Structures are given as C-alpha cells and as structure tokens.
Amino acid sequence: MAHGRFAGLMMGACLLAAGAAQAADTKPALIYDLGGKFDKSFNEGAFHGAEAFKQATGVPFRDFEVQNDAQREQAMRRFAKDGFSPVVAIGFSQASAMEKVAAEFPDTKFVIVDAVVDKPNVQSILFKEGEGSFLVGLLGAMASKTGKIGFVGGMDIPLIHRFGCGYAQGAKYANPKVEVLQNMTGTTADAWHDPVKGGELAKSQIDRGADVIYHAAGATGNGVLQAAADAGKLGIGVDSDQDGLFPGHVLTSMLKHVDVAVKDTFTAAKDGTWKPGITVLGLKQDGVGYAEDQYNKDLLTPDMLKAVKAAAADIESGKISVHDYMADSKCPD
C-alpha cells in the first residue's frame, strides 16, 4: 500500500516536472529593428503583441532595441545561448544575421517578420502590404479635394515600393485622374528615423498640391503626419493605428498586424503548435486592413466606408487583383 502511494507520488512529481519543463521551454525574445520599440508604428506593434501574450499567459518575454547593424547578430546569438526560444526579429534587415545564427542553434526556434530565411528552424512571416495600401489609397483619393495625394516612403527598397504601388492602385481605382506624388526618405537605415526629413518631404508634396499624404516610413512618418496636420491637410498612418496622434488630421491608418503575428507565434511556441516555413498574411487572414475609430469617424463619410468595404470584399474574393511590386519591380500606371 505504502509502495503504491509512493509510486503515485513519484508519478505526480514526474508529471509536474514535465509540465514545468514545457513552460520553461518557452522563453520568448523580441529584437526590434532600427527606429526603436516606441516608434508608434512597426516596432511598437510588435511590442504590443508581445505584451498581449504576456497578459494572456503570464509568460514574460525579453526584448532588445538594436542601435546598429552589428548588434543584430550579437543579440540573436546572446538570446539563443541563454535558452530563449522563439527569438523573433522584426524587419527584413535582420535576415542575414538570422541565416547565420539559426544555423548555429538548430534547436532554437527563430522567427523573422518581413523577410524569408530558409532554415528548418525559422518561421518567416510576410504581409500583403499592397492590399491594405490599396484600401487607404482609395480612401485618400475620395477624401482629396485637389485630386493630388502623396506618399512618403522610408528606405528606398522594394518592400516600401510595394506600399506605394498598392496605394496608387487603390487611389486610381477610386479616381482614375488622381495624381500620386511619391518620395523616398533615403537609401540607408537612417531613413526610418528622420522625422525632420519626413516633414520636409511632406511639405514639398503639399506645396505641389497634395492634400492627403500616406507614409510608410517608421518613425520618420511622425514628421509626415505632423507636417500634414500643421498645414491643415490629412495624413495616413501605417502599421499601427496612428489616427490618435493628430486627431482630426489623420484620415486613417494602414494596419499591418505585426502585433497579432508576434502574439500568435509566441502562443504557438508555448502550445507546441509552432511550425517553421513561410506564413503570408493578407486581408483574408486579417493581416492587413485600415483603421476606423473615434478619431477619424468624422473624416470617413458613408460613401467612403461603403466603397472601402466593397473593395476589401472584392480583394478577398479575387475580383480585384492588387499588383505586388515585389513580383516584378514594376507598378502599373
């Protein structure tokens, strides 16, 4: 009898240990891209997703803000050595570092957002930014009184041209005669955190007649939205919901749900359902969209809402095909 009770206690202890080991296996870590954790945009969305995971599960996470390119690899390696998994890196610029570090730590789960790293222990998460940009372009063209709208991108790379191309396509869908002015901020990573330059580019577009300006420029975009608000024009935010930054002066925001992607990948690792490979999130998967909230309710007319909802449904069904700039490095006229 005593022996049986002892065996039962031992079995219970083993089950508890196994449960503790599984919980211990999930030590999530997050590495932000240049621009910082509180960029009000891309990185901050990732932070909110990690926070939501922590609130839901009680499992803490560690994070790191890179200040230069060399720190990407150092941070990934340090997290992997310290037993963190999954290690999530935000931004395409992290790809080459992850290629190297993921190969060194084959038992660690790695995740990259906005790039593909083809390793058996890496999940690559991509978004159909063109689809969300199409919708805010449609809204921008409908809101414009001058028939001219603008786009300010961050770093001059194909990914950001995908935003601009989708935006122009959506604008022309709403108004074939609309003129879309486009500028990129720069060719280095500094282009993501230069709000002064962002403001200058926006002012230049406003001087040329643009009265709605969309940015896909990280922290640089704060200067774009500020310039639009100061001039009494409309800005369009990106990645996170930026409508509340300048209430009444931000028409909408193109939502890129990095927050959902981070929360989901942390949760999958905890639940044992995490898988490597490529995940693509578009309108149909609720990966992208547009913001509609208390800050812009007076800016979005019933006609605009009707048009954008119809376009979203047509994109999801395949009736509207949004051209992907990254497929051929071209944007149709």
Least confident range from 6-15, 53-62, 179-188: namely 6-15
**Residue position matching structure tokens 């211990």:** 24
Task: Report whether pLDDT(182) > 50.
Answer: yes
User: What percentage of the chain carries pLDDT values higher than 70?
Assistant: 92
Structure tokens at 194: 């230069």
Predicted local distance difference test score (pLDDT) of residue 332:
84
C-alpha dihedral, 294 to 263 to 53 to 270, nearest 10°? 160
Question: Cβ of 67: how many Cβ atoms within 10 Å?
Answer: 9
Task: Report whether pLDDT(12) > 90.
Answer: no
Predicted local distance difference test score (pLDDT) of residue 14:
41
Q: DSSP secondary-structure letter at 191? A: G
User: What percentage of the chain carries pLDDT values higher than 90?
Assistant: 87
Between β-strands 87-90 and 110-113, what pairing exists: parallel, antiparallel or unpaired?
A: parallel
Confidence of residue 15 (pLDDT cuts 50, 70, 90): very low
Confidence of residue 10 (pLDDT cuts 50, 70, 90): very low
Task: Report whether pLDDT(215) > 90.
Answer: yes
Distances (CA, A) of 46 to 14, 51, 99, 180, 269: 36, 9, 21, 30, 16
Confidence of residue 24 (pLDDT cuts 50, 70, 90): very low
Structure tokens at 127: 């978004």
Q: Select the more confidently predicted residue: 333 or 222.
A: 222
Task: Report whether pLDDT(19) > 70.
Answer: no
Residue 333 to residue 323: CA distance in whole angstroms: 11
Confidence of residue 84 (pLDDT cuts 50, 70, 90): very high
Q: Which has the closest alpha carbon to 214: 287, 141, 302, 127? A: 141
Q: Please give the radius of gyration of the chain, using alpha carbons only, rounded to the nearest integer.
A: 22
Across the chain, where does the E strand assignment appear? 29-32, 62-65, 87-90, 110-113, 122-127, 148-155, 179-186, 212-216, 234-239, 250-256, 277-281, 288-290
Between β-strands 122-127 and 110-113, what pairing exists: parallel, antiparallel or unpaired?
A: parallel
Predicted local distance difference test score (pLDDT) of residue 34:
86
Confidence of residue 41 (pLDDT cuts 50, 70, 90): confident
Tell me the average pLDDT of the chain.
Answer: 92
Question: Cβ of 314: how many Cβ atoms within 10 Å?
Answer: 13
E strand or H helix at 77, and its extent? Answer: helix 70-81
Q: DSSP secondary-structure letter at 27? A: B
Predicted local distance difference test score (pLDDT) of residue 333:
77
Question: What backbone phi and psi angles, to 5 degrees, belong to 201?
Answer: -65, -40
Predicted local distance difference test score (pLDDT) of residue 13:
41
Contact 171, 163 (CB under 8 A): no
Residue 189 to residue 196: CA distance in whole angstroms: 15
pLDDT in tens, 245-299: 999 999 999 999 999 999 999 999 999 999 999 999 999 999 999 999 999 999 9
Q: Which has the closest alpha carbon to 262: 243, 282, 283, 281? A: 281
